[in-house]
Chain A
Amino acid sequence: MAAILEAKNIKKYFKTPKGTLHAVDGVSFSIEEGKTLGVVGESGCGKSTLGRVLVHLLERTDGQILFEGKDISDLTKADLKNVRQNMQMIFQDPFASLNPRQSVSEIIAEPLQIYRRVSSKADLEKQVLELMDTVGLARRLANSYPHELDGGRRQRIGVARALALNPKFIVCDEPVSALDVSIQAQILNLMQDLQEERNLTYLFITHNLSVVKHISDEILVMYLGKMVELASDKDIFLNRLHPYTKALLAAVPLPVYGTEKKKRQLLRGELSSPINPKPGCRFAARCPYAKEQCHQKEPALEEIMPKHFVACHFAREINGI
Chain B
Amino acid sequence: MAEPILEVRNLTVEYTSGKSIVQAVNHLSFTLERGEALGLVGETGAGKTTTALSIMQLITSPPGRIKSGEIIFEGRDLTKLSQSELRKLRGEKISMIFQDPMTALNPVITVGDQICEVIHLHEKVSRLEATQRAKKMLEMVGIPGERYSDYPHQFSGGMKQRVIIAIALARNPSLLIADEPTTALDVTIQAQVLEMIERIIKELKTTLILITHDLGVVADICDKAAIMYAGEIVEYGTLDHIYNHTMHPYSIGLFGSIPNFNEDVRRLKPIKGLMPDPTNLPKGCSFCLRCPDCQDRCTKEKFSPVEVAPGHIVRCVKYIND
Asked if A and B touch directly (CB within 8 angstroms), the answer is yes
Give A contacts to B, CB under 8 Å. Answer: 42-43, 150-153, 180-186, 188-189, 192, 207, 209-211, 213-215, 234, 237, 247-248, 250-258, 264, 266-267, 270-271
Q: In the complex, are the beta carbons of A253 and B270 less than 8 A apart? A: no
Given the complex, which residues of B lie within 8 Å of A258, measured CB to CB? 240, 243-244
**B104: interface (CB < 8 Å):** no
Task: Pick the residue among B195, B220, B261 that contacts A213 (CB under 8 A).
Answer: B261
Give B contacts to A, CB under 8 Å. Answer: 43-44, 156, 158-159, 186-192, 194-195, 213-220, 239-240, 242-244, 253-262, 264-272, 274-275
Given the complex, which residues of A lie within 8 Å of B272, measured CB to CB? 186
Apart from the given pairs A182-B257, A248-B188, 7 other A-B contacts in the complex at a CB distance below 8 Å: A210-B261, A211-B259, A237-B261, A253-B191, A255-B219, A257-B240, A267-B188
Given the complex, which residues of A lie within 8 Å of B219, measured CB to CB? 253-257
Given the complex, which residues of B lie within 8 Å of A257, measured CB to CB? 219, 239-240, 242-244
Given contacts A257-B243, A267-B188, contact A185 B270 (CB under 8 A): yes
Q: In the complex, are the beta carbons of A254 and B270 less than 8 A apart? A: no
Which secondary structure characterizes the binding site on chain A? helix
Q: In the complex, are the beta carbons of B186 and A182 less than 8 A apart? A: no
Task: Pick the residue among B213, B244, B262, B265 that contacts A181 (CB under 8 A).
Answer: B213
Given the complex, which residues of B lie within 8 Å of A182, measured CB to CB? 43, 253-254, 257, 270-271
Q: How many CB-defined contacts (below 8 Å) exist between A and B?
A: 123
Given the complex, which residues of B lie within 8 Å of A188, measured CB to CB? 259, 268
Given the complex, which residues of A lie within 8 Å of B195, measured CB to CB? 264, 266
Given the complex, which residues of B lie within 8 Å of A153, measured CB to CB? 274
Given contacts A207-B186, A213-B261, contact A255 B274 (CB under 8 A): no
Given the complex, which residues of B lie within 8 Å of A180, measured CB to CB? 43-44, 213
CB distance from A82 to the nearest CB of B (A): 35
CB distance from B138 to the nearest CB of A (A): 16
Q: In the complex, are the beta carbons of A214 and B265 less than 8 A apart? A: yes
Given contacts A182-B257, A185-B256, contact A253 B188 (CB under 8 A): no
Given the complex, which residues of A lie within 8 Å of B256, measured CB to CB? 185
Q: How many angstroms between the C-alpha atoms of A256 and B253 in the bound complex?
A: 15
Q: How many angstroms between the C-alpha atoms of A211 and B265 in the bound complex?
A: 11
Q: In the complex, are the beta carbons of A213 and B259 less than 8 A apart? A: yes
Q: In the complex, are the beta carbons of A255 and B240 less than 8 A apart? A: no
Given the complex, which residues of A lie within 8 Å of B254, measured CB to CB? 181-182
CB distance from B240 to the nearest CB of A (A): 6
Q: How many angstroms between the C-alpha atoms of A70 and B191 in the bound complex?
A: 44
Query: In the complex, which of the residues A42, A185, A189 has the most CB atoms of chain B within 10 Å of its own CB atom?
Result: A185
Closest to B214 in A: A253
Given the complex, which residues of A lie within 8 Å of B190, measured CB to CB? 251, 253
